[in-house]
Amino acid sequence: MNRAIYPGSFDPITLGHLNIIERALDMYDGLVILLAVNPGKQSLFTVEENLEMLRDATSKWPQVEIDSTTGLLVDYARKHGIRQAVRGLRAVTDFDAEFSMALTNRSLWEDFDTVYLMTSAEYMFLRSSMVKQIAEHGGDISGFVPDNVEAKLRARFRR
Ligand code: ADP
């Protein structure tokens, strides 16, 4: 089975992430969405909350599996026999960090490759941090996140 991992913080999942997932599912038989837990990075939701939102938002795709790791992506990948990661690229500003991450991962495991999908134009400026800011100030986030995430964000910032 041809599987890939889509790693990220997903704090929380947005329509930009879902667009990448949907397109990756055209290329792979299975996709593991891997919440990479980074204790150094402040997150709005707990790991469990973000996993639950990921599960909800992707429940219509039986080929999608949701998991998390506190370790290295390549260690997770090796353990599960998966040799490719999928990431999204929004603009040149993403490129530097992605380039060094892809090369670092390949230096840790030479058989491991990262495949990049260009963002869809309508999601070019969409990132989780922006959605959180808008929600915090009571703005309309319905065009940016799936319904279950919108409800969660509204509840979190309800005054
Ligand atoms: P990270 O903190 O690891 O960058 P994110 O959850 O922010 O995790 O994003 C995970 C992946 O999804 C990254 O490759 C990111 O570039 C991609 N991504 C996020 N938002 C979009 C979007 N709107 N369009 C395309 N790719 C996106």
pTM of the model: 0.96
**8 Cα–ligand 1 center, Å:** 7
Which of 98, 119, 124, 131 to mutate to test ligand 1, by most ligand atoms within 8 A of the CB atom? 119
Give the model's pLDDT for residue 159: 65
Q: Whose CA is nearest to atom 18 of ligand 1?
A: 88
Active site residue 78: no
Residue 5 main-chain phi, psi, to 5 deg: -110, 135
Per-residue pLDDT of the chain (159 residues; tens, 9 = 90+): 899 999 999 999 999 999 999 999 999 999 999 999 998 889 999 999 999 999 999 999 999 999 999 999 999 999 999 999 999 999 888 999 999 999 999 999 999 999 999 999 999 999 999 999 999 999 999 999 999 999 999 999 986
Give the model's pLDDT for residue 140: 97
Distance CA 148, CA 159 (A): 19
Does ligand 1 have an atom closer than 6 angstroms to the CB of 94? yes
Does ligand 1 have an atom closer than 6 angstroms to the CB of 22? no
Residue 110 main-chain phi, psi, to 5 deg: -65, -20
**153 Cα–ligand 1 center, Å:** 18
Token readout for 33 is: 């969405």
Distance CA 90, CA 16 (A): 9
Per the DSSP assignment, residues forming a β-bridge with 31 are: 4, 64
Give the model's pLDDT for residue 35: 98
Distance CA 15, CA 23 (A): 12
Active site residue 127: no
Does ligand 1 have an atom closer than 6 angstroms to the CB of 53? no
**39 Cα–ligand 1 center, Å:** 18
